[in-house]
Amino acid sequence: MTFTGLNQDESIDMGFEGVKIYMFCDGYVDTFISAFRTFLCFAGGLTYNPEGGPITGSHIPPYMEQANVEFLANTMNWNLEERSITEYEYDTNLI
């Protein structure tokens, strides 16, 4: 292959990392679904206001928690178990 019309930065990049080609292995629809599921893992708790809405409050929304639990189970084969202890007393001087 011969590329013409490259500026100096593009030539350096091509010489360093070569050509990068991206493809959608599962098609556009499945890729969109995968991207949306990834978005659900991170979208939530977007403000400092604990009284905010279901997405904007400073808390982890239930859908976000569920998306992360499902990701770990389906992708990493790691099934989380709910803990009975929800609060732990600790000495801040040890941190």
pLDDT(17) > 80: no
Residue 43 CB partners (closer than 8 Å, separation 6+): 55, 64
Q: Is the pTM for the entire model greater than 0.85?
A: no
Residue 12 phi, psi dihedral angles, 5° rounding? -65, -45
pLDDT(55) > 80: no
CA distance 16 to 12: 6
- Residue whose entry in the numeric block shows the structure tokens 């409050």: 57
Show me where the domains of the chain are located.
Answer: 32-94
Model pLDDT, residue 68: 93
Can you give the length of the chain in residues? 95
Model pLDDT, residue 79: 93
Find out whether 65 and 55 touch, Cβ atoms under 8 Å: no
pLDDT(69) > 90: yes
Structure tokens at 89: 């007393």
Find out whether 37 and 71 touch, Cβ atoms under 8 Å: yes
Higher-pLDDT residue of 90, 46: 90
Higher-pLDDT residue of 74, 22: 74
